[in-house]
Each structure stands twice: as C-alpha cells, then as structure tokens.
Structure 1
Amino acid sequence: MRVITFNANGIRSAAQKGFFQWLAQQNADVVCIQETKAQTAQLADGIFWPEGYHCAYFDALKKGYSGVALYSRKAPDQVVSGFGWEDMDAEGRYLEARFDDLCVASVYVPSGSSGEERQAIKYGFMERFTEFLRPRLTDGRQHIVCGDWNIAHKAIDLKNWRGNQKNSGFLPEERAWMDERFAEGWVDAFRVVNQAPEQYTWWSNRGQARANNVGWRIDYQVVSPNLRAAISTVDIYTAERFSDHAPLIIDYAHPF
C-alpha cells in the first residue's frame, strides 16, 4: 500500500506546476493533501478528480485558505469531515477515510508563525488533538495520520535548529508535545526507515532556501503502533517543485 501526503499550498497552483501529472505515475493507494486553498465549487476541472480515485474535499469557510483533501483507490466505508470542533472545522483541517479496520487521515495543524494569537490557537489545537488521538491507540484499528503537523520534532529535522529554538514550529513546548505523542505509542513512520540528517519537506520561499536545502521536516505520516512493522520504504520527492512543501511517499506491507 502506497500513501502520499502533500501540502499543496494551493491545489490549483500545484496543478499548474504539474502535480497531477506526477501523481498519475505514482501508483498511490491513498493521497492526503493539505492547504487546498480552494472551495470545491472552484475545482470543477477534471484534473482535481483524478481518474481511478474516490475524491473527498473538506474546505475552509474562508476562501483561499487552508482546506484538506483525500483521494483513495478503494471506496471508503466512511468519510469523516472535521473533528467536530466548530472553530477548527471552519478552517477545514481534518478529513478521514475508513477502510475496514484501516483509517487514513489528512490533517493540517495550525501554524503559529504569524504571531502570539495564532500560537495560542495552535497550543489549544494541540491540547484537543491529544485527546482526539489517544483513544485511537487502543481502538483496534490501524491509523495513518498524514499531514503538515507544523512542528519539526528534533534538531535533525531542520537545518538551522540553533537559531529557531524561539520560533513557532520548533518551540520547546511543541517538541515536547511530539515527544509525548511518540512516547504514548504513535510512530513517526519516516524515521523508522530513514534516520539520516537533512531530510526536509518544507523550505522557505525566501532566498535560496530550497536550492541550498535549508529546510524543515514538518510533514509526517504518524501511524499507530500496530502498523510499525508494515512500514517498508520512504521517500521525499524533491526532483520537481509543486509547492513550498515536497510530497512524502511511504510504502506499507499492508493489503489495500
């Protein structure tokens, strides 16, 4: 089973940059997209409904903002749109597809980089997300929580870690929160296979960050412990540039 997660930073922009042509060659079973920045009504073109996939979108109420999507080869038994939290659901941050005992989700964790108010919102999200995730560790299902978590977990996960310890996305409280999720049993699927440094999924548009690989690893596939043994191969696709993020591709030894 191949699962791809990708922050498109505008799905229409990513389409213009060739994302869907690339995707058609990837043989993905499930594709999770964040930051669609579009209303479903604006995506009438067939390119946004790839052939052979069951497609679901969950939009933010605000136009041109946030939004998540999920494509799957297999028809889901159920699609869950949102957390059931009015404030975050208005921002279109969570979409989950269920297939038998497998659940795959596309999540877009808020950024706090615009200031203290949004950082406080991010902390509030993290607190609720903890309680949302916890029962999923023991519900008998297999979970893959894909998306932009907007946190670089460890120093290895960003280039300039020393200079970013007071910046949103690498604050001690955020990193400790990730520590706690993994201590509870959740698994950073990428790091099971690849422990190398300089493995990034996002680069600032400022300067030559991407050309010089001055990046952050903030896009994850976080899986329940009962999927750890199934993690097979991982890859961050950087040969083409569809967004300021790169697609994260993980193969699982799991039937789909």
Structure 2
Amino acid sequence: MRIISLSVDGIHQAAQRGLYEWLSEQDADIVCLQDLRALEYELDHDIFHPEGYNAYFFDSGIKHYNGVAIYSRHQPKALIYGLGFASGVDMEGRYLQADFEHISIGSLLAPSANTELESLEVKVKFFDDLQAHLHKITRKRREFVFCGNWQMAHKSSDVKNAKVNEENAGFLAHERLWMDQLFNQIGYIDAFRAVNKDSDEYSWWPSGEIGKGDGWRTDLQVISEGLKPRVEYGVIYKNRAFSSHLPVIMDYDIEL
C-alpha cells in the first residue's frame, strides 16, 4: 500500500502547479491532502475527483482557510469527520479519517499558532487533547496511520539551524517534549524515520519557497506500533514543488 501525504497551501494553486497530473503517475492507494483553503462546494470540478479514486473532503466552513481531503482507491467502511474533542478545539485544525477492515487512515492539519485565527493556547490545547485521544485508541484492535501537517518538528535533525529556531512556534521546548511522549511513551512510530535517518530531510520551508531559508520536517506519517515492521520505503519527494511543503511518500506491506 502506498500513501502520499502533502500540505498544499491551497488546493487550487497546487492543481495549477500540476499536482493532479503528478499524482496520476504515482500509483498511490491513498492520498491525504491538508490545508486545502477551499470549501467543498468549490471542489466540484473533475480535476479534484481523479479517476479511480473515491474523494472525501472536510472543509473549515471558512473561505480560504484550512480543510483536508482523502483520496482512496478502495471505498472505506466508514468515515469520521473531526476528532470529537469535548473542548471543541479539534475544529481549530481539521481531521478526516477513513476506516477500512483492520486499519484507519487519517488526514490531519494541526493548528499552527502562526495565523490570526490560531493562538499558541489553542495549539497547546489541541495537542493535549490529541495526545489523550491517541493514547486511548492504542487499546483498539486496529492499526492507524495519521498523515499530516503536524505544524511541529521533533528533533534538531528535523530543523535546519535548530538552535536558532528553538524560540519559534513549531520547535518550542514543550512541542518537542510532546513529540518525545508520542514516540517514546505512547508508542507511536514516525514512519519516515523508521527507514530514513538522514539529517537533511526537510518537508517545509517557512519562507514559502522550497530551498529558501531554513527547512523543517513537519509533514509526518505517524503509525501505530504494530505497523513498524510493515514500513517498506519512505521518501520526501524533491523533484517538483506544488506548495511550500513537499510530498511524503510511504510504502507499507499492507493490503486494504
């Protein structure tokens, strides 16, 4: 099973840059997109419904703001819109999940704390609630893949000029600690790091232009522990740019 995830900085712009033509050549089973910046009714053109895929969208209800999508070659048994946090803070980001027989695949856009609509307080609450949710579902008899723009990097190897960026949202001390807890205590796996330990693998450039300024690896496929032996291949695709983020391509030894 091949899963591609990408934060697109606006789906219309990414389409104009050739995203869908590129995706048609990738033989992906699942494609998870984040930061669509479009409402679902604005995506009724054929280009946003590629042949051979079932298309699912979850917008923000606000024009030009966030939103996620999942494209799947196999029809899911169920879809889950949002994370259902009692606080309601999950709606400050966006999450869409497709459930199959023994595996669930989610497309996640976390709050960034870098926009007028988002704050560091909201981001902290979101990730506190998310941690509790991820801990709870470890008891379920199914595997999970959470694809997305997590809006934070884990280690110094994931941020160019890490020391300089320690005071910036996305690489603050409490955010790195949250990632430590996710991977070291709760037991989830950074799928890319299971097969690639290189220190110069970045997926996002805050400057808005690939290769300009400091690169960050904030785009992750986070998997449940049982999937670790199923990770076969992972790459951050660098040959073309469709946004300020690069696609993360992961292959798993799994049949849907």
Instruction: Return the letter of the residue paired with 1:159.
Output: K
The residue correspondences of 1:129-140 to structure 2 (distance < 5 A) are 129-140=130-141
3-state SS of paired residue (2:119): helix
Deviation at 1:89, TM superposition (A): 5.4
The residue correspondences of 1:16-55 to structure 2 (distance < 5 A) are 16-55=16-55
Aligned pair count reads 254
Residues 70 and 117 from structure 1, CA distance in 2 versus in 1: closer, same or farther, beyond 3 angstroms?
A: closer
Which residue of structure 1 lines up, in the alignment, with residue 124 of structure 2?
123
8 Å CA contact 2:89, 2:125 repeated in 1: no
| Whole-angstrom distance in 1 between the partners of 2:59 and 2:210 | 29
8 Å CA contact 1:59, 1:92 repeated in 2: no
What's the C-alpha RMSD, in Å, of the aligned pairs?
1.7
Residues 165 and 55 from structure 1, CA distance in 2 versus in 1: closer, same or farther, beyond 3 angstroms?
A: same
Which residue of structure 2 lines up, in the alignment, with residue 203 of structure 1?
205
| Whole-angstrom distance in 1 between the partners of 2:174 and 2:114 | 14
| Whole-angstrom distance in 2 between the partners of 1:73 and 1:107 | 19
Deviation at 1:112, TM superposition (A): 1.6
3-state SS of paired residue (1:202): coil
The residue correspondences of 1:112-191 to structure 2 (distance < 5 A) are 112-114=113-115, 118-183=119-184, 184-191=186-193
Deviation at 1:114, TM superposition (A): 4.2
| Whole-angstrom distance in 2 between the partners of 1:60 and 1:32 | 16
The residue correspondences of 1:78-89 to structure 2 (distance < 5 A) are 78-85=78-85, 87-88=88-89
| Whole-angstrom distance in 1 between the partners of 2:182 and 2:162 | 21
8 Å CA contact 2:4, 2:250 repeated in 1: yes
The residue correspondences of 1:95-114 to structure 2 (distance < 5 A) are 95-114=96-115
| Whole-angstrom distance in 2 between the partners of 1:115 and 1:167 | 16
Instruction: Return the letter of the residue paired with 1:163.
Output: V
Residues 204 and 235 from structure 1, CA distance in 2 versus in 1: closer, same or farther, beyond 3 angstroms?
A: same
8 Å CA contact 2:53, 2:71 repeated in 1: yes
8 Å CA contact 1:105, 1:146 repeated in 2: yes
Which residue of structure 2 lines up, in the alignment, with residue 193 of structure 1?
195
Gaps of 5+ in 2: none
Deviation at 1:204, TM superposition (A): 2.4
Deviation at 1:138, TM superposition (A): 2.1
Which residue of structure 1 lines up, in the alignment, with residue 5 of structure 2?
5
8 Å CA contact 2:76, 2:98 repeated in 1: yes
- Sequence identity, in percent? 40
| Whole-angstrom distance in 2 between the partners of 1:253 and 1:22 | 23
Residues 92 and 173 from structure 1, CA distance in 2 versus in 1: closer, same or farther, beyond 3 angstroms?
A: closer
8 Å CA contact 1:193, 1:232 repeated in 2: yes
| Whole-angstrom distance in 1 between the partners of 2:89 and 2:70 | 18
8 Å CA contact 1:61, 1:91 repeated in 2: no
The residue correspondences of 1:209-220 to structure 2 (distance < 5 A) are 210-211=210-211, 214-220=214-220
3-state SS of paired residue (1:70): strand
| Whole-angstrom distance in 1 between the partners of 2:128 and 2:33 | 23
Which residue of structure 2 lines up, in the alignment, with residue 221 of structure 1?
221
Deviation at 1:160, TM superposition (A): 1.3
8 Å CA contact 2:131, 2:182 repeated in 1: yes
TM-score, with length taken from structure 2: 0.95
